[in-house]
């Protein structure tokens, strides 16, 4: 398997694990949505207390580059993806998740009878409403390291969506 494909699959597994642990549904986006910058769709399950069943469209990236700068991840996002994620008023909220992995593929995963550990971590950001860019290739987006994509973060995001709040 090509390294970039392996990173993509690993990052999907990370998001899938968090989504399952938070009791939400994970679906790989169909081709037409993928072409529009949506890799996966996360949705709420079961009875909802509101008329909105929360749904979140996600663009996922994975890198082993050293992108941590103090408490910020600086990720060079392709302009196409930046433009798709910065929409002011999308029908379905969108976020970017960047999963960081160790340089060596052998260090991505640790497993024993007691645990399965996916290394390192995923971070999320909403680019909604950011300004257009004049860049031709990439835009460096900044993601605070406090924005860890974990079950608590996902539950909070989905509760905000369900109540009609903006991300």
**Residue percentage of the chain with pLDDT more than 90:** 81
Give yes or no for residue 108 having a pLDDT over 90.
yes
Categorise residue 11: left if φ over 0, alpha if ψ from -120 to 50, beta otherwise.
Answer: alpha
> Is pLDDT above 90 for 164?
no
- 117, pLDDT greater than 80: yes
Mean pLDDT within 96-122? 95
Are 70 and 107 in contact, with CB atoms under 8 Å apart?
A: no
Confidence of residue 102 (pLDDT cuts 50, 70, 90): very high
Mean residue pLDDT of the chain comes to: 93
pLDDT, mean of residues 71-87: 96
Task: Compute the average pLDDT of residues 77-97.
Answer: 95
Return d(Cα 76, Cα 138) in angstroms, integer.
6
Q: Give mean pLDDT, residues 35-45.
A: 92
| DSSP output for 18-80 | HHHHTT-EEEEPPHHHHHTT--EEEE--S--SSSPPPEEEEEEEEE-S--EETTEEEEEEEHH
Q: In the predicted model, is pLDDT for residue 59 greater than 80?
A: yes
CA-CA distance, 41 to 60, in Å (whole number)? 11
**Taking 80 as the threshold, does the pLDDT of residue 50 lie above it?**
no
Burial (CB < 10 A; 0-12, 13-18, 19+), residue 148, is: middle
Closest CA to 96 of 120, 119, 73, 68: 73
Mean pLDDT along residues 9-24: 97
Distance in angstroms (rounded) separating the CA atoms of residues 29 and 19? 15
What would the mean pLDDT of 27-45 be, rounded to a whole number?
90
pTM over 0.75: yes
Picking from 50, 46, 38, 5, the residue whose alpha carbon sits closest to that of residue 161 is 50
With a cut of 70, say whether residue 4 has pLDDT above it.
yes
Strands of the 68-69 sheet, one edge to the other:
68-69, 72-78, 138-144
**Residues 129, 25 contacting (CB under 8 angstroms):** no
């Amino acid at each position: 398997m090509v390294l970039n494909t392996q990173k993509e699959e690993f990052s999907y597994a990370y998001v899938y694990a968090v989504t399952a642990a938070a009791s939400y549904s994970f679906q790989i986006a169909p081709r037409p949505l993928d072409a529009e910058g949506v890799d996966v769709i996360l949705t709420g399950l079961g009875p909802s207390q509101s008329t909105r069943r929360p749904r979140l469209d996600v663009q996922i990236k994975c890198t082993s580059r050293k992108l941590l700068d103090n408490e910020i991840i600086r990720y060079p996002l392709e302009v196409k993806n930046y433009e798709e994620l910065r929409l002011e008023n999308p029908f379905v909220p969108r976020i970017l998740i960047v999963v960081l992995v160790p340089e060596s593929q052998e260090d991505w995963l640790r497993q024993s009878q007691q645990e399965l550990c996916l290394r390192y971590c995923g971070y999320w950001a909403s680019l909604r409403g950011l300004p257009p860019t004049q860049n031709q290739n990439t835009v460096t987006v900044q993601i605070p390291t406090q924005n860890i994509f974990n079950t608590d973060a996902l539950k909070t995001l989905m509760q905000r969506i369900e109540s009609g709040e903006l991300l």
